[in-house]
Structure 1
Amino acid sequence: MARLLESLGALKKAIASRGWFRDVRLVYQGFGPLGAWMFRELLPVSHIVAEYYGEEVQTYLEEEDGATVFSAEKESGVRHNDSTLFNRYYYPDRGEAIAASLNRLSGRVCFVPFATTPGLEEFLFRHGSRYHLLQNSTIVQNYFDYKARLAWSAKEIGIPIPPDSLVTLFGALDYPRLADAFESGFVIQVPLSQAGGGTHFAFSPDDFGRIVEENRAALGPLFDKTQVKVTPFLPGPSLNCTGCVVNGAVALSPPDIQIVGDPHFVETPGQYIGSDFARNDFEPEHRRRILEITARIGAWMGARGYRGNFGVDFLSTVDGNNRVKDIFVSEVNARLVGESQYMADWQAMAGSVPLTFFHLAEWMNLDEITPAEIAAYNASLPPIEGSALLLYTREKGTFRAAGGISSGIYRFDGDRLVRLRDGFLLSQTRSADEFVITNGIPWDGLVLGHPRYGDYNVFLCYLLTRESIVQPGNWRLVNDRWRRRADLVYAALGLVPCPPRLLPGEKA
């Protein structure tokens, strides 16, 4: 049985011979449809419910793979920054059509959402027991996502959090006292958020005033009594590790470097813009420590009812040579995480079992996956060859992409972007000179940004490469090579302004 997890090939043979997923009809829900590919090495994906769309979704998921895709963006022709609209209204609006399509399937219809939403839970409740949820409920997710909880429990778990961290109320924040306590600046985190949306950096009275004003407007009468976590600003890079609670153990991924808030790409300091697995330059002690902490957190979560994949974000300090010195836990993401979407492909490139398999194993009660086998898997994690860089619009407005860029395998000839062939995965490249433009590339007719008000930092696409993308001397920033390449791709997208217009049903 130890050979079961030795390689992806061995696992695929076991899946086929034992029929683990034979009658499963998988439904993936997430922001981007291509996230479904994290399970595609293991079983077909029947249906996808997503916010975004893209030319590559039609080409590779719908036409080639035969998946049925329900997409809010496809139907509205608009991509904007407010995902709460999709989470809240898509199932009430489109649930009957989704159910009608699913009811034509035989077998067990199993939903694996990136993160469970109240809309999905209501849909599942109203459509009976034939649909199965292979993910934690929103109540369980929110329990662990709550930013203050990890700070409260850090001593119990035995994990380091940033020194002098405090949990208080928004209404009790006092800038002079915080500025005295945190001379290099501080970070305020609201209880529940994703992709850096609830993380605010304060380096001046003006920063603090803006944070208070924005959150007072958003929270209204709840502002004064909303709990927040305040930590010192730490100058080191953001790090990450993904884990999976499975059968009484915790499976782990290799750690990676997260790029957050690089001002060359985004205006928001906490905005996630990419991950670098290719650097593979952690000190052995730091790598061991990250894996150990992730396992501790996973065991703590599992003992309190959590199941499946989760992510841990880390903060760090640096020494005089700008190398990572001390590592601290920032937060837990109780769901599938951004890295999951492409890490499965990169693990498959190395012949390794994707971590997403363990999520399925836990929720489908595959008892053959034992703690001893998981320990052996964790002890032999191979290095991963891959980095991802996300591109966003760089000014507020409403745009369309007129450049005619499509998903595919590309390379650069000097400053000239050369499309080599079709493709949408890093595993489809043949050398480090090739890279991929993929995942949500604006399609003909798509409006980027709220048609009436416009938006900042609207997501455009992913660039996937086998190379490291961080600066060797400063892992917080993208290196000059990939800044230049990102700029060239951004220019090739050919963004042009769109005139303001109303959304369907909206009044002037």
Structure 2
Amino acid sequence: MLRGTSDLRGYFRTNRTPIYFISPTAFNLLGIDRWVRGFSYVNYFDSFAGAHPQVFVPQERPYREFTSIEDINNYLLSHKEVLDHVAGGLALFVFFDEETEKLCEEIGLKIALPSAELRHRLDSKIVTTQLGNEAGVPSVPNRLGRASNYDELLTLADGLGDDLVVQTPYGDSGKTTFFIKGQRDWDAHAEDLVDEELKVMKRINCRAAAVEAVITRHGTVVGPVMRDLTGYPELTPYRGGWCGNDIYDDALAPEQRDRARVLTEQLGDRLAAEGYRGFFEVDYLLDVDTGELYLGELNPRLSGVTSMTSVSAGAYADMPLVLLHLAEYLDLDYELDVAELNARWARSAAADEWSQLIIKETRADVELLTAAPQTGIWRLNEDGSATFRGRGNDWHAIHEEAEAFYLQVLGEGEYRYPGADLGLLVARSRMQTDDNELTPKARQWIEAIRAQFEGIPLAPAAVVDRPHDALAFKA
């Protein structure tokens, strides 16, 4: 019997079960190998140019056009070099499907996540809304239904006004959230909305926040509350697209932060009743005019903010929540005082500052990259330029505000195209103001990193087979 987080930490330091994070990059769980013996990464993109001892990337990677992260993961699981590398144990993914489950069963890997079928059902924004209502976690005033034209949308939205936010059930919020105010907006997005089940919401003046949690056999443990960065044209071409996070002490007012934690625990307990266990992430919308906190979106999986949760002060005071997730799927016999642990996380989770920027290609051009910034520690100079300070395995060693860790996704010899994930930057300073503007330092970092890229424009005939946007870090 392991009693509490101290015993669990000791167990993972001596763990002998191989655990693989299989994903296009190591981003979401980078640094967990510091905590868990036998933890490694199987990736498609070699962000570290072979320098990270726990990252395995197959050498033979002929050009393929992938349509999703699931496609990339299934390709890896079918690759001879990967099959020669893995040796049983657990597999973690951000995204996987039924084909992934079949491939893992064939090679003796146990997927340490709820089934693809359950995750897919819970991932629906419609189902999320319904479960939230049952759990006492309110959504922005909304209507659920269908509309084949703008007049039907207004009928469905009765009582919500004519300035509307419309979502379809599945997909990255940046690509499946539509702002409709008038016939022209409907016409621009009708192809995406007709024949879909819709969540139609009143548009509010809001701030976005996120929180991760893990459902254990002993209850739901809630991580730090952080602010989302959304829709900045300097970072993403998608108007509602997530593009980063800030953790800091007053990301929300104390009463709002406490309410977010309570609501997350309630939602976790409701998901547990559906048979779900392990990691999940919730996006909240704070109505600036009323102070009300609303459920925005549920991600039943590891997500793009797992990287921040795992490096917060709460994680170092106890341990990253991912280890509790693993304890469930390793079937460890352990005890845990969830109320006590949640109280400690509430006190310490936002005690220091961390931020991340997800840098996408925002231009309409397609280029073959001839130069790209390396993975490692960068320093922001007084003139706004950035200097490469040296390689590193993750961002845990960052101490100064003038330094940041850049993780490369697309490098020399690869294509950059509209919406492509170029890389991400992690720093120990805020990147967004209280008024939802990028800080001057954030703008300097973005410009300095983008200045490191060089490319050769492709002729129109060569653009036809450009890569698909398949690498979103969070959906």
TM-score scaled by structure 1?
0.82
TM-superposed CA distance for 1:113, in Å, is 1.1
Equivalent residue of 2:302, what SS? coil
Equivalent residue, structure 1, for 2:223: 253
2:461 corresponds to 1:491: no
Aligned equivalent of 1:337, options 303, 316, 332: 303
1:30-45 correspondence runs (5 A): 30-44=23-37
Distance 1:93 1:459, change over 3 A: closer
| CA distance in structure 1 between the partners assigned to 2:174 and 2:85 by the alignment | 34
Does the CA contact (< 8 Å) of 1:432 and 1:465 recur in 2?
Answer: yes
Which amino acid is 1:428 matched to?
A
Does the CA contact (< 8 Å) of 1:426 and 1:466 recur in 2?
Answer: no
Does the CA contact (< 8 Å) of 1:77 and 1:447 recur in 2?
Answer: no
1:89-488 correspondence runs (5 A): 91=74, 95=78, 97=80, 100-102=83-85, 105=87, 108-127=88-107, 130-163=108-141, 165-171=142-148, 174-177=152-155, 181-183=159-161, 185-194=163-172, 196-213=174-191, 215=192, 223-224=194-195, 226-278=196-248, 280-319=250-289, 325-347=291-313, 350-372=316-338, 374-383=341-350, 384-413=352-381, 414-440=383-409, 442-449=410-417, 456-472=418-434, 474-475=435-436, 477-488=437-448
Distance 1:327 1:431, change over 3 A: same
Which amino acid is 1:75 matched to?
R
Does the CA contact (< 8 Å) of 2:33 and 2:39 recur in 1?
Answer: no
Does the CA contact (< 8 Å) of 1:38 and 1:340 recur in 2?
Answer: no
The CA deviation string for residues 298-345 of structure 1, in whole angstroms up to 9 with x for no partner, is 0000111001000111112114xxxx8221001211111111134313
Distance 1:352 1:495, change over 3 A: farther
| CA distance in structure 1 between the partners assigned to 2:310 and 2:263 by the alignment | 22
Equivalent residue, structure 2, for 1:13: 10
TM-superposed CA distance for 1:351, in Å, is 4.0
| CA distance in structure 2 between the partners assigned to 1:89 and 1:56 by the alignment | 18
TM-superposed CA distance for 1:237, in Å, is 1.1
Does the CA contact (< 8 Å) of 2:31 and 2:394 recur in 1?
Answer: no
| CA distance in structure 1 between the partners assigned to 2:293 and 2:449 by the alignment | 34
Moved more, 152-161 or 234-243: 152-161
Which amino acid is 1:161 matched to?
S
Does the CA contact (< 8 Å) of 2:58 and 2:82 recur in 1?
Answer: no
| CA distance in structure 2 between the partners assigned to 1:462 and 1:209 by the alignment | 35
Equivalent residue of 1:162, what SS? coil
Larger helix proportion, structure 1 or 2? 1
The CA deviation string for residues 134-188 of structure 1, in whole angstroms up to 9 with x for no partner, is 011111101211111132233321112112x011024376345468744472222
Equivalent residue of 2:165, what SS? strand
| CA distance in structure 1 between the partners assigned to 2:336 and 2:384 by the alignment | 51
Equivalent residue, structure 2, for 1:452: none
Unaligned runs of 5+ in 2: 467-475
| CA distance in structure 2 between the partners assigned to 1:348 and 1:285 by the alignment | 19
Q: Give the aligned length.
A: 460
TM-score scaled by structure 2?
0.87
TM-superposed CA distance for 1:382, in Å, is 3.1
Moved more, 366-375 or 351-360: 366-375
Which amino acid is 2:349 matched to?
P
Moved more, 382-391 or 276-285: 276-285
| CA distance in structure 2 between the partners assigned to 1:96 and 1:424 by the alignment | 25
